[in-house]
């Protein structure tokens, strides 16, 4: 048994469904006990220590022991082209993304970038990622192999595209189906890995490919499905041209059985009332990617409105359309997007989105995202005074959230002082 000492917090309710502060229980001097890769106990430090006198104790002082962050939408193959200047979505894909993704048929390169990606995300305190790979099965093998080596709970899948992508970066309806199925059978449920069926987005799939992937999902309802939905206005107009028979963007996916519980709809910014009602009815998850939405100039996600109508929402970097690997920076961007829409998201809501909220969106909230006995011991220990600028502001804090908010707004990987994966301390 190992005991970590520090500040702890856990949620007793959804902070979007009542006063945010009341959704949280906080221990100023708390402890998390870990045994066999799981959280064994959480509570006041004195109680936990007294209950386990032989345990090895690590004292993190005033640092906050949090569930590891959960990044619900990312593209690990875009690691090396993050922060590419000057384009909106479609041009950005053609100019930067597709040429880079072309390289992932080379297994050695795919492994190099996957390893780099997990180094960067772990350093940022992220312990679960949900990633698009490329059309190449090698890119999926590299992602899962590197995740498994690190003991991570990680999700991902082969990105399928059979049109509107360059030569060398297209599969077919049939190979998309067959390769996805083979990778699903190879990786889903191995250790802590999960496969995700991944049509990139409507413009890069023929109706035949969407149909084939809908059929695969029907055969394997135990896995998640991820795609992009209503990110940019030009994209939406293009989808309307490509699928004139569809009522709206969501209906394209719906016609092929790709809207349901377990669907992760990246971005979901420009939605009509019919689409919102259908997403809610289907129990699909909407994944908010705020640094990407401002970086590529996509628009402002309606967090307050969507939460008020009871949608399931996760938070994500969308690396490398997103401009950061850090979920702290991502929380800050979500706050800024909220402000631009006239709603100040509370720090308790932001932290929840990056942990338990994303876990719920992935239907993994019974295993990760919460400090509670029985949960997998994926933890990020966060210093709330990691730089002089943050420390001098946090020193003025009157309560927990005033102490946490400067780290949300100004923190980066320097704030993450320790990371545990499956109860083991990771070298970051
Ligand atoms: N839409 C389709 N592909 C992508 C991608 O790689 N990044 C983003 N941000 N949007 C997309
Ligand atoms: Zn994306």
Per-residue pLDDT at 422: 98
Distance CA 246, CA 255 (A): 8
Nearest CA to ligand 1 atom 9: 321
pLDDT of residue 82: 98
Domain-by-domain residue ranges, the chain?
2-67+370-425, 69-361
Instruction: Compute, in angstroms, the gap from residue 351 CA to the centroid of ligand 1.
Output: 25
Cβ atoms of 289 and 327 closer than 8 Å: no
Whole-model pTM? 0.98
- Cis-peptide, bond into residue 77, ω within 30° of zero: no
d(CA 73, CA 354): 12
Predicted local confidence at residue 81, as pLDDT = 98
Query: What is the chain's mean pLDDT, rounded?
Result: 98
Measured torsion, CA atoms of residues 165, 166, 172, 178, in degrees rounded to the nearest 10: -90
Question: For residues 122 and 254, what is the distance between their CA atoms, to the nearest angstrom?
Answer: 35
In this prediction, residue 159 carries a pLDDT of 98
Q: Is ipTM strictly over 0.85?
A: yes
- 124's CB contacts (< 8 A; 6+ apart) are 69, 325, 326, 327, 328, 412, 413, 416
Ligand nearest the Cα of residue 82 is 1
The C-alpha atoms of residue 418 and residue 265 are separated, in whole angstroms, by: 31
Q: What residues pack around ion ligand 2 (CB closer than 5 A)?
A: 266, 318
pLDDT profile of the chain (428 residues), mean per 10 = 97 97 96 98 98 97 98 98 96 97 98 98 98 98 98 98 97 98 98 99 98 98 98 98 98 98 98 98 98 98 98 98 98 98 98 98 98 98 98 96 98 98 96
Q: What is the pLDDT of residues 91-128, one digit of tens each?
A: 999 999 999 999 999 999 999 999 999 999 999 999 99
Q: Is the distance from CB of 100 to CB of 78 less than 8 angstroms?
A: yes
Distance 93 CA to ligand 1 centre (A): 7
| 228 CA → ligand 2 middle, Å | 6
For residue 8, give the nearest of 31, 24, 38, 35 by alpha carbon: 31
The CA-to-CA distance between both ends of the chain, in Å, stands at: 22
Model pLDDT, residue 294: 98
CA of 298, closest atom in ligand 1: 9
Which structure tokens are listed for 237? 């107009």
Q: Which atom of ligand 1 is nearest to the CA of 296?
A: 9
Residue 153 tokens, joined: 């709970």
Element (H, E) at 348: helix 347-352
2-67+370-425 in CATH: which number?
Answer: 2.30.40.10
From ligand 1's centre to the CA of 185, what distance in Å?
26
Calculate how far, in angstroms, residue 253's C-alpha sits from the geometric centre of ligand 1.
Answer: 16
The residue whose CA is least distant from atom 7 of ligand 1 is: 321
Query: What pLDDT is recorded for position 153?
Result: 98
Q: For ligand 1, which residues put their CB under 6 angstroms from it?
A: 75, 89, 93, 97, 200-201, 228, 231, 292, 296, 318, 321
Give the atom of ligand 1 at the shortest distance from the alpha carbon of 266: 10
Q: Which atom of ligand 1 is nearest to the CA of 204?
A: 2
Question: Residue 343 has what DSSP assignment?
Answer: -
CB 357 within 8 A of CB 315: yes
- Cα(367) to ligand 1 centroid in Å equals 29
Q: Which CATH class is domain 69-361?
A: alpha beta
> Looking at ligand 1, which atom is closest to the CA of residue 78?
6
How confident is the model at residue 96, as a pLDDT?
Answer: 97
Span from the CA of 89 to the centroid of ligand 1 (angstroms)? 7
- Is 278 in contact with 259 (CB distance < 8 Å)? yes
pLDDT of residue 20: 97
Protein residue closest via CA to atom 3 of ligand 1: 200
Closest ligand 1 atom to the C-alpha of 235? 1
């Amino acid at each position: 048994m190992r005991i970590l000492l520090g500040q702890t917090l856990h949620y007793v309710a959804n902070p979007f469904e009542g006063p945010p502060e009341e959704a949280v229980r906080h221990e100023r001097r708390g402890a998390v006990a870990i045994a066999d890769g799981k959280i064994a106990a959480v509570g006041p430090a004195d109680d936990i220590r007294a209950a386990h006198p032989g345990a090895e104790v690590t004292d993190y002082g005033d640092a906050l022991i949090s569930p590891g962050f959960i990044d619900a939408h990312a593209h690990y193959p875009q690691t090396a082209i993050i922060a590419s200047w000057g384009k909106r979505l479609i041009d950005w894909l053609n100019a930067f993304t597709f040429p880079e993704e072309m390289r992932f048929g080379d297994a050695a390169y795919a492994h190099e970038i996957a390893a780099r990606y997990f180094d960067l995300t772990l350093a940022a305190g992220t312990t679960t990622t949900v990633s698009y790979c490329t059309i190449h099965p090698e890119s999926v093998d590299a992602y899962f192999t590197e995740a498994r080596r690190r003991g991570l709970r990680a999700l991902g899948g082969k990105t399928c595209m059979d049109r509107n992508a360059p030569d060398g970066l297209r599969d077919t309806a049939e190979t998309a189906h067959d390769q996805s199925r083979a990778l699903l059978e190879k990786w889903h449920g191995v250790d802590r890995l999960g496969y995700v069926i991944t049509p990139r987005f409507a413009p890069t799939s023929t109706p035949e490919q969407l149909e084939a992937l809908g059929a695969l999902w029907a055969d394997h309802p135990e896995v998640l499905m991820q795609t992009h939905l209503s990110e940019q206005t030009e994209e939406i107009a293009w989808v309307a041209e490509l699928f004139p028979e569809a009522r709206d963007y969501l209906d394209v996916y719906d016609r092929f059985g790709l809207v349901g519980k377990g669907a992760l709809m990246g971005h979901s910014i420009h939605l009509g009332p019919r689409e919102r009602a259908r997403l809610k009815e289907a129990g699909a998850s909407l994944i908010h990617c705020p640094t990407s939405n401002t970086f590529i100039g996509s628009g402002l996600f309606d967090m307050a409105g969507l939460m008020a109508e009871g949608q399931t929402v996760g938070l994500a970097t969308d690396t490398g359309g997103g401009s950061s690997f850090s979920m702290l920076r991502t929380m800050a961007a979500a706050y800024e997007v909220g402000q631009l829409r006239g709603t100040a998201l509370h720090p308790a809501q932001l932290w929840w989105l990056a942990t338990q909220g994303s876990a719920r969106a992935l239907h993994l909230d019974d295993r990760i995202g919460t400090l509670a006995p029985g949960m997998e011991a994926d933890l990020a220990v966060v210093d709330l005074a990691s730089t002089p600028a943050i420390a001098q502001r946090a020193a003025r804090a009157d309560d927990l959230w005033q102490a946490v908010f400067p780290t949300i707004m100004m923190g980066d990987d320097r704030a993450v002082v320790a990371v545990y994966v499956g109860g083991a301390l990771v070298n970051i």
